[in-house]
Amino acid sequence: MSVKILLTFDAADEDLERIRAASDSVAVDRAERRGQALELAADAEVVLAGNWWEALWKAAPRLRWVQSWGAGVERFLTPGFVASPIVLTNARGIYSVPIAEHVMAFVLSFTRGFHELIRNQLGHRWRYDIQPRELIGKTMGIVGMGGIGTELAKRAQVCGMRVIAVRRRAGLPAPYADDVRGPESLGWLLAESDYVALCAALTRQTRHLIGEEALRQMKPTAYLINIARGGLVDEAALVSALEERRIAGAGLDVFETEPLPDDSPLWDLPNVLITPHCAGSSLHSHRRLMDLFCENLRRYLAGEELLNVVNKQDGY
């Protein structure tokens, strides 16, 4: 009997052919829309999930393994799915390079005043009334030192920055960081950092990690960068801090509600840079994802341990 694989996104023909080439024992379907996906899920054993619906795994009695398109997996972690024996793997590491570069783009834009210079350009104003700074000697604070945090630390050090971080397991190797501490030291990191980059998973413990109290611990000259999950930040508290200039600015790629509502105050704040949840986008990301899935498929068919297995209880 063949292993049925369902791709829940508008997969290219070459993606399907590459998966089929992995073994004569696999059959592949694709379904971007919910209704078609639920129908095809009836005999699916494996799902490569671009789109995901809670009803999908319930409609798939043979489902054994789900590969997430993304690194964050909070959308999967309903009580029933967590309690199920279905293995969940994520795309950890696939997007680390483009996201780290996206953070540095935010950082450099604020450091050199590009967020103001671009507004001058749009207004046809030949004006240079900003006070640009340099990165050398500044402190990059990284919350979450996984693949993205590590790639970011590497780039920050190259720019002459001091790199500090907090992570759940502070004792793990962190070759590009000058000081790594446990999550209880978040206040220390916020007070020390000129740029605070959120690279942590969204879990019950990290929801609204950055709220009113945390924002008041940051320097008034510091910038908050969020490329992880919008739920890490209390947006109402952030808007207040930005409007009152209690922090210097924010670079935001993710939001509590996406797309960001038209009436969000964040759109019009002059000290905010907004990108539409695209930090992981790259010409190379899709190839890396398919490389990971095909390697995991080989392992699955051979009965070997899969890469990037998520601890569904912990949420990452």
Active site residues: 229, 258, 277
The single-letter code of the amino acid at 175 is P
The single-letter code of the amino acid at 85 is P
Residue 11 and residue 102: Cα distance in Å, rounded? 26
The tokens of 287 are what? Answer: 């190839």
Residue 255 and residue 253: Cα distance in Å, rounded? 7
Strands of 139-143's sheet, edge to edge? 179-181, 162-166, 139-143, 195-198, 223-226, 249-252, 272-274
Residue 71 and residue 84: Cα distance in Å, rounded? 20
Instruction: Give one DSSP letter per residue of 253-284, joined into a string.
Output: S--SSSSPPTT-GGGG-TTEEE--S-TT--TT
Task: Please say whether the dihedral angle defined by the alpha carbons of residues 20, 22, 25 and 29, taken in this order, is positive or negative.
Answer: negative
Residue 93 and residue 76: Cα distance in Å, rounded? 19
Residue 222 and residue 201: Cα distance in Å, rounded? 22
Rounded to 5°, angle at Cα 246 from 243 and 251: 70
Nearest to 47 by CA among 3, 7, 90: 7
Contacts 24+ apart (CB under 8 A), 11-15: 11/48, 11/50, 15/290
Residue 104 and residue 212: Cα distance in Å, rounded? 25
